[in-house]
Structure 1
């Protein structure tokens, strides 16, 4: 369950969102308004027809295309294929992300009470399961995954100083950003041009 009692009440008056129901009805879960089925997710190599990815018995709404199911299963399901903690349903994926966001929102005082948090949670799940909205890939990769940094941004902008230490730190930071599924840009405006003098070295 997403509910958390660790609410920062000092923030509530300043940050509460005032979320009301628009797409959902109290007492009716968004998942229950859809027809679900089990299907195999399979991606083949277009060159020779060999199987590049396969996960059988994946639960998905009937309204989702086979291609959408294939992509979600291959790219976004948490856990190693074949292991017990591997996600095998779109419900698991959306619950992991939406419930984690709701917990953090409640903890940081974005909702007046549990009812508003529930409104947000159900509305978000409706939007996601009906493909009315979606998150970027890092959110699906990371949010709610127990062994991953909760990295949600799609792109980071790095700043580099005109020193060797800063340049090498740039490579390290960029590598960790890529590891989390995000991309990065870099501001190189502080680096000297190839026409400028370099400080002499001792080597």
Structure 2
């Protein structure tokens, strides 16, 4: 994805994003595993924050498999940008990182957003997840995998995935466009919920899964 980088959202109090017991847990300080999901539904910029230990976080994890790194073949038209509308965009984050000197927070007071998943429904009803594992890097490393229809239907019934789109996306209206409004929702959610600022972390280019190298930081006030 182009230009929205690994995002670090700084919070006024680290307790806002502390993990709880239960479903996939992650300690961002020592494991590169998400423990926070920011869910933005179909073009609305409405953001819902889910944390490790919550039931919906566990169900979203089951649907999207945010540690999945392989890719499956998709229709050629999709590769050319002729995609269905995005149902939901999820920015996966890790809490308990960052802080001084990159922000004014105490060490471990930031949240890093470094993976973006988007959910699509194919014309045959199949559910696909499109992943940018390094949104800060300008490359073609976009990965696809099928998701569980059963889990998707359950989340859809509960309203977590937003409204179904009635029209197809325009060519080239892909991941970068979706994350543009997703980041708007992320910023709005932080401003309304905890305040703070957005720290965009740009990492050295990489194509293989793994932690970014040589991070650079740019602070943007909200």
With the shorter chain as reference, the TM-score category is under 0.3
Which has more helix, going by share of residues? 1
Q: Which has the higher contact order (CA 8 A, sep 6+)?
A: 2
- TM-score with structure 1 setting the length: 0.24
Which has more strand, going by share of residues? 2
Structure index of larger Rg: 1
- TM-score with structure 2 setting the length: 0.22
